[in-house]
Amino acid sequence: MAIAIAVILLVIGSVLFHFLSPWYFTPLASNWDTIDLTVDITFWVTGVVFVLVNLFMAYAIIRYRHRKGLKADYEPENKKLEWWLTAITTVGVVAMLAPGLVVWAEFVTVPEDAGEFEAVAQQWQWSFRFPGDDGVMGQSAVRLMTIENPFGLDPEDENGLDDVLVFGNEVHLPVGKPMKALLRSKDVLHNFAVPQFRVKMDLVPGLVTYLWFEPTKAGRFDLLCEEYCGLAHHTMRGDVVIEEQADFDIWLAAQPTFADTLAIPVADATAGQALYAPCAACHGMQGEGNLALNAPKLSGQEGWYLRRQLNNYKNGRRGTDPADMFGAQMAAMAGTLPNAAAVNNVIAYIQTLPDLPAAATISGDVDRGESLYLTCAACHGRDAMGIWSVSAPRQAGMSDWYLATQLRNFRSGLRGTHPQDGYGEQMASMSMMLLDDAAINDVLAYINTLPVDDKPRQVAILEQ
Amino acid sequence: MAYVAIADRPDELHHPHSFITKYVWSQDHKVIAIQYSIIAILVGLIALGLSFVMRLQLAFPDTFSFIDPSIYYQSVTMHGMIMVIYLLTALFLGGFGNYLIPLQLGARDMVFPYMNMLSVWVYLLSVIVLLASFFVPGGPTGAGWTLYPPQAILPGTPGTDWGILMMLLSLAIFIVAFTMGGLNYVTTVLQARTRGMTLMRMPLSVWGIFTATILGLLAFPALFVSAVMMSFDKLLGTSFFIPAVLSMGDVLETEGGSPVLFQHLFWFFGHPEVYIVALPAFGIVSDLLSVHARKNIFGYRMMVWAIVAIGGLSFIVWAHHMYVSGMNPYFGFFFATTTLIIAVPTAIKVYNWVLTLWKGDIHLTVPMLFAIGFIFTFINGGLTGLFLGNVVVDLPLSDTYFVVAHFHLVMGVSPVLVVCGAIYHWYPNITGRMLNDGMGKVHFWMTFIGTYCIYFPMYYLGILGLPRRYYSNGVTDFIPDSVSAVNIAITVSALIVGLAQLLFVLNLITSLRFGKKAEQNPWRATTLEWRTPEYPPGHGNWGPELPGVYRWAYDYSVPGAEKDFICQDEPPTEGQGA
């Protein structure tokens, strides 16, 4: 008896939950209202079956529960009833399947007037490419991918030279225009999903997959990877900004073409030496760092990383929080580098400085640190020398006290919160696994035990 | 001299005498069944523990220092793989299959007892290899239970050095064990049924297990070859599943492989696998409902054909797991159609279960409660399969918590409810004692209500767009704060459900000694396993003569009969149909 009542209550509860709970689809921001319609149809058909069959069962339990003298019926089969039920079920299935297939046919057929862009995924970042004025995207290949050419475009291919490259996790698209997304992965499986657009598709290395949608609402939407792609899967975020065509055109024009990135002049270390003089006041003549002045060691750090952080400081993406005193100081100093060439030159000079391991100032439980570092190693490398393709800088042999400060800044929200600092956001999310100062010290103590190699480091010249 | 079948020469059965031959290297199908079940339940409890690692992290992110992303994803992976393969497959086929097939069909044992013994020990070896992967450098694989390449074998995923190889090795060993057991079950069903036990008189439990075993024999080879191919990719530098890639800044030497090929192989195994677990559950629950409602199963022939039809169709629906995998999108039309067709025989089964209750004499025993709980849970989980199977409806829901809720209810909780009901039902047959009824009821209510509270809200998190396999949700505009509250509620429910299973294990152990002595056929069932001369059944199951079968397994409440059940081996008498 209790079980029948429980079934009835669960049915009522489920229906009420469906209508009253605040968790339902996000407001639609694309043309795919037909997908929402097929979901609604499915909800109605399955909902009716759910309620009817369960209530019938509950009624049967109440009515035919064992009492003295009750005897069950003997009816092995009832052909007519069985065929009726089969027929009704078939009708219900067709009612759901037919509209579903019609909408799927729309999904696999991209409208002829659709614009194209490419979304490129890698562990655990997005970048994007637009076809440029000729409307054709150039060839790409994995073997061509380098730190200077992360898209792997073929410089010999005319079609590729005017391709517009978007470095970083944010892409803009015009409102009201159907867009076909060509999806390419450099390493493992990923997935392109914006919940408000309803559609999603995996990115598969070795293939170019696609999906299409027409954004119908301006705004900023979360781009998620929804195919498990390794340790930092949950931090693989992007932003899709939908805006009016005119704003989109301005944004697109500000992005470099592939030809632009090929034309950047080689950095001049000699010119950089003069620019480095103010830096040396705090960071030291040899870039060795100075704990008393809170200036970390620079020599030996990856060039692309120095460049990104200098640009972050210059562009107000870092060091803007009033509580981050040292960050604010550095932001002011970075502002004195007048342009991209100056940044490149000063980095080129830093690359020439001798790379001596910084003195260890932090101690902790090395064994615990080693097991914690397993997660960090996914990006920063087992040797903690950094991996450019996942945008993870070197840690081994660098100023450990500085790393400790930064980890605390990430955890407390002083760093990695600016919407344009996607990599910082990633690190902020990952740093949450180090729950307290002891954990931070243990990890750094372990990093201090790692041997430091002296392979030459590269200056990235790409990020604008 | 006329030929006398071995089954009719009981003096030639070599009864074991020492403890070792009776309980360790035993060739008795009943002992092997218990060995299979104990290993499966123990490893299942480990997987249950791993689910708490996930739930604690999701409900209370950044609280437990031991749950870092590596541990989280390793828990996700091992929980899924253990539950699907090492618990459910092993328990239904190795456990229930071994116990029920010979007894319900009137056979003395499996036809290949020695191979049967090898099967369980090889299964144990696969479990040991699997658990050993927790102790290798880098820990077990954290590639997700689907083990998708390239990430399963490239840096950036936990356990890509040793863990993944241990997993692949363990799976290969498991498949060897399963094949030895599976050939045995199929041959026994086809060759060793007693006189009069026609196929269409077999209890549905055996039909479910039999069909599932055939599915397993046809599906597991696909997993086996994909495991071998992936090991080659990892160890020998082949490129079956890896195209040219840039991994961690290095261009690898791989070229031309296809990650989607692996997914096809995996799901060619993986979808039948769902039914390898579901069909035995369907069969067993049919029998539980019939016995405890004192009524014949409604539409027996339709039920048999539905099992066979589902089994057949299960081989042509696999790519509904891959709608957004990047396979040719035109496949979606075909696989959506086949997938929704499979809903028809499945629905028929549900109707027939409910119609079996209609006009019954329903005894709300603990096995019956679990059977009813199963129907409710299965209806819910099954219906949401219609969302995910219908290709375009799958687009917004794929890879979200909707999927997690669906498959847990339909192939996790539903079969587990049947397992529990079945254990309460057959425990007296195995041990001669009843399980404690009060503890059983508490176990049922906590499990039934608790699991629904875990998974029902997850549907709505999925509709909202919450992705599965996220260590933490981070700052995402469309996820409202209220989601954390839901996650906490789900975790609390999960802990309660976990507690209930410990109560169940306690019941299983204490009832061995303190349980009420069971009479020979406590549920007044018709099937042969309750009709053995020794009780509980001894080695060889039957006395000098095998039982003869004169009727189907569902003669309950036959009009004109004095009792409300007539056993299969009771010959027909005047005025009573057979």
* Set of chain B residues whose Cβ sits within 8 Å of the Cβ of A45: 386
Kindly state whether residue A458 falls inside one of the protein's structural domains.
no
Q: How far is B73 from chain A (nearest CA, A)?
A: 7
Q: Tell me the pLDDT band of A464, cut-offs 50, 70 and 90.
A: very low
Q: Tell me the pLDDT band of A309, cut-offs 50, 70 and 90.
A: very high
Q: How far is A414 from chain B (nearest CA, A)?
A: 15
Nearest-by-CA chain B residue for A392? B248
Kindly state whether residue A342 falls inside one of the protein's structural domains.
yes
Q: How confident is the model at residue B106, as a pLDDT?
A: 95
Q: How confident is the model at residue A337, as a pLDDT?
A: 87
Same domain, A288 and A437: yes
Residues composing chain B: 578
* Set of chain A residues whose Cβ sits within 8 Å of the Cβ of B240: none
Tell me the C-alpha distance between B322 and A209, whole Å.
13
Kindly state whether residue A456 falls inside one of the protein's structural domains.
no
Tell me the C-alpha distance between B376 and B372, whole Å.
6
Test A93 with B343 for CB contact under 8 angstroms: yes
Mean pLDDT of chain A: 91
Last residue of a domain, one of A207, A236, A257: A257
Q: How confident is the model at residue B274, as a pLDDT?
A: 94
pLDDT at B2 over 70: no
pLDDT at B576 over 70: no
Kindly state whether residue A237 falls inside one of the protein's structural domains.
yes
Q: How confident is the model at residue B578, as a pLDDT?
A: 45
* Set of chain A residues whose Cβ sits within 8 Å of the Cβ of B142: 231
pLDDT at B359 over 70: yes
Q: How confident is the model at residue A419, as a pLDDT?
A: 82
Our count of domains for chain A comes to: 3
Same domain, A181 and A316: no
Dump pLDDT digits (tens) for B151-196. 999 999 999 989 999 999 999 999 999 999 999 999 999 999 999 9
pLDDT at A334 over 80: yes
Q: Tell me the pLDDT band of B494, cut-offs 50, 70 and 90.
A: very high
Q: Tell me the pLDDT band of B575, cut-offs 50, 70 and 90.
A: low
Tell me the C-alpha distance between A448 and A428, whole Å.
22
Which of B390, B463, B472 lies nearest to residue A432, judging by beta carbons? B472
Of B277, B321, B362, residue with least CA distance to A72: B362
Dump pLDDT digits (tens) for A371-395. 899 889 988 988 999 888 888 999 9
Test A187 with B156 for CB contact under 8 angstroms: yes
Q: How confident is the model at residue A451, as a pLDDT?
A: 86
Same domain, A399 and A286: yes
Test A17 with B400 for CB contact under 8 angstroms: no
Tell me the C-alpha distance between A347 and A298, whole Å.
9
Kindly state whether residue A453 falls inside one of the protein's structural domains.
no
Test A435 with B63 for CB contact under 8 angstroms: yes
Kindly state whether residue A61 falls inside one of the protein's structural domains.
yes
Tell me the C-alpha distance between A227 and A190, whole Å.
5
DSSP alpha helix (H) spans, A208-263: 245-253, 258-263
Tell me the C-alpha distance between B339 and A133, whole Å.
45
Dump pLDDT digits (tens) for A174-215. 999 999 999 999 999 999 999 999 999 999 999 999 999 999
Test A78 with B68 for CB contact under 8 angstroms: no
Which of B65, B363, B390 lies nearest to residue A66, judging by beta carbons? B363
Dump pLDDT digits (tens) for A281-293. 899 999 999 998 8
Composition of chain B by helix, strand, coil, percent to 5: 65, 0, 35
Same domain, A229 and A362: no
Test A200 with B398 for CB contact under 8 angstroms: yes
Q: How far is B492 from chain A (nearest CA, A)?
A: 19
Tell me the C-alpha distance between B155 and B137, whole Å.
14
Give the Cβ contact number of residue A182 at 10 Å. 17
Tell me the C-alpha distance between A424 and A218, whole Å.
26
Higher pLDDT, B560 or B402: B402
Same domain, A379 and A409: yes
Q: How far is B179 from chain A (nearest CA, A)?
A: 31
Test A104 with B391 for CB contact under 8 angstroms: yes
Dump pLDDT digits (tens) for A123-155. 999 999 999 999 999 999 999 998 889 999 999
Q: Mean pLDDT over residues A51-76, rounded? A: 94
Test A74 with B398 for CB contact under 8 angstroms: no
Q: Mean pLDDT over residues B88-100, rounded? A: 97
Test A72 with B556 for CB contact under 8 angstroms: yes
Which of A104, A183, A220 lies nearest to residue B392, judging by beta carbons? A104
Q: How far is A277 from chain B (nearest CA, A)?
A: 33
Test A186 with B245 for CB contact under 8 angstroms: yes
Last residue of a domain, one of A257, A292, A311: A257
Same domain, A239 and A338: no
pLDDT at B330 over 90: yes
Dump pLDDT digits (tens) for B275-324. 999 999 999 999 999 999 999 999 999 999 999 999 999 999 999 999 99
Which of A26, A66, A86 lies nearest to residue B362, judging by beta carbons? A66
Mean pLDDT of chain B: 93
Test A375 with B154 for CB contact under 8 angstroms: no
Same domain, A247 and A273: no
Dump pLDDT digits (tens) for B17-57. 777 777 888 999 999 999 999 999 999 999 999 999 999 99
pLDDT at B577 over 80: no
Q: How far is B255 from chain A (nearest CA, A)?
A: 9
Most B-contacting residue of A12, A20, A23, A192 (CB-CB within 10 A), to test interface: A23
Tell me the C-alpha distance between A171 and A168, whole Å.
8
Tell me the C-alpha distance between B321 and B335, whole Å.
10
Residues composing chain A: 464
Last residue of a domain, one of A222, A257, A292: A257
Most B-contacting residue of A228, A241, A423, A434 (CB-CB within 10 A), to test interface: A228
Q: How far is B444 from chain A (nearest CA, A)?
A: 10
Tell me the C-alpha distance between B336 and A142, whole Å.
34
Which of B155, B244, B372 lies nearest to residue A3, judging by beta carbons? B372
Q: How confident is the model at residue B19, as a pLDDT?
A: 78
Q: How confident is the model at residue B475, as a pLDDT?
A: 73
Same domain, A100 and A176: no
Kindly state whether residue A463 falls inside one of the protein's structural domains.
no
Same domain, A237 and A312: no
Q: What is the CATH number of the domain that holds A196?
A: 2.60.40.420
Nearest-by-CA chain A residue for B381? A50
Dump pLDDT digits (tens) for A337-349. 888 888 989 999 9
Same domain, A120 and A102: no
Most A-contacting residue of B298, B390, B406 (CB-CB within 10 A), to test interface: B390
Which range marks the domain in which residue A48 is found? 2-67+78-107
Dump pLDDT digits (tens) for A258-286. 998 888 777 888 888 989 988 988 999 99
Question: DSSP letters of B362-382?
Answer: B---HHHHHHHHHHHHHHHHH
Test B358 with A74 for CB contact under 8 angstroms: no
Same domain, A193 and A276: no
pLDDT at A331 over 50: yes
Q: How confident is the model at residue B8, as a pLDDT?
A: 60
Tell me the C-alpha distance between B327 and B332, whole Å.
9
Tell me the C-alpha distance between A25 and A453, whole Å.
51
Of A11, A83, A42, A64, residue with least CA distance to B375: A11
Q: How far is B501 from chain A (nearest CA, A)?
A: 20
Do the beta carbons of residue A440 and residue A407 sit within 8 Å? yes
Per cent of chain B over pLDDT 90 is 87
Do the beta carbons of residue B119 and residue B208 sit within 8 Å? no
pLDDT at A73 over 50: yes
Q: How confident is the model at residue B5, as a pLDDT?
A: 60
Higher pLDDT, B115 or A325: B115
Nearest-by-CA chain B residue for A20? B460
Of B191, B67, B222, B40, residue with least CA distance to B124: B40
Nearest-by-CA chain B residue for A67? B361
* Set of chain A residues whose Cβ sits within 8 Å of the Cβ of B372: 3, 7, 57, 61
Q: How confident is the model at residue B1, as a pLDDT?
A: 45
Question: DSSP letters of A289-332?
Answer: -BGGGTB---TTS-HHHHHHHHHHHHTTSSS-STT-HHHHHHHH
pLDDT at B4 over 70: no
Across the A:B interface, residue pairs with CB atoms under 8 Å apart total 371
* Set of chain A residues whose Cβ sits within 8 Å of the Cβ of B359: 64, 72-73, 75
pLDDT at A48 over 90: yes
pLDDT at A463 over 60: no
Most A-contacting residue of B72, B135, B151 (CB-CB within 10 A), to test interface: B151
Test B472 with A39 for CB contact under 8 angstroms: no
* Set of chain B residues whose Cβ sits within 8 Å of the Cβ of A238: none
Same domain, A128 and A99: no
What's the token pair of residue A248? 């989109």
**Prior bond of A215 cis (ω within 30°):** no
Q: How far is A313 from chain B (nearest CA, A)?
A: 23
Kindly state whether residue A460 falls inside one of the protein's structural domains.
no
